[in-house]
Structure 1
Amino acid sequence: MNLITTIVAIAVALSMVLALVSFWLPQITPDPEKLSPYECGFDPLGSARLPFSLRFFLVAILFLLFDLEIALLLPLPWGDQLSSPLVTFLWAASVLTLLTIGLIYEWVQGGLEWAE
């Protein structure tokens, strides 16, 4: 018990010392030159912030959803070793049906159209 108390006391003391030191250190405010964007030694030609197309985000989310659902089918080859392979077949068929319904829904809603 004495060892645990010592470790906790050292941790608390070290945390307090680090917190106090961070308040005593001066706050450095960078000048506008350091806040400006830097492009290979030249002044930037335009805005560094480019608009991000929401289509990329939607395609990435769709990929993640379908990829994770397809990962549910990976244990299928070992399903034939079960006592009832029919249960494995029904489970796989239901997952594939849900994937197909999701794909059809996204297609109908226009989520797979790149340009309108």
Structure 2
Amino acid sequence: MMKLISAAIVISAFAAPAFAAEPIEGTWKRSNGTLIQYSGSGDKFCGTVLNNEYKGKSIGCMSGKGADYKGTVNKLDEGKTYSGKAHVEGKTMTLSGCALGGLICKSESLARQ
């Protein structure tokens, strides 16, 4: 019986990380109160606005794992798409949109909800 319990503990310890969500997944709040939901599968995660003026609109998709992601950021008020990156640290995500090959970037911090 002890061998069976020990085997179950070992299996669950290795299986848990495979099902863990990526740090970018979840709901994030901008400083203006806009909520953005990032979800996806594999290494592609897309953001959707949950409230306010642009509710239901995509803000772009990111690929990556762990703390760092790269992809696109849609600036909805301008109707433009920029190269983007995101860095997740704890309950904060820094989201950046860049132009001119990354020479000019604008970043903002979002808080995990």
Task: Give the structure with the higher percent strand.
Answer: 2
Task: Give the structure with the higher percent helix.
Answer: 1
TM bucket by the smaller chain?
under 0.3
Q: Give the TM-score normalised by the residue count of structure 1.
A: 0.24
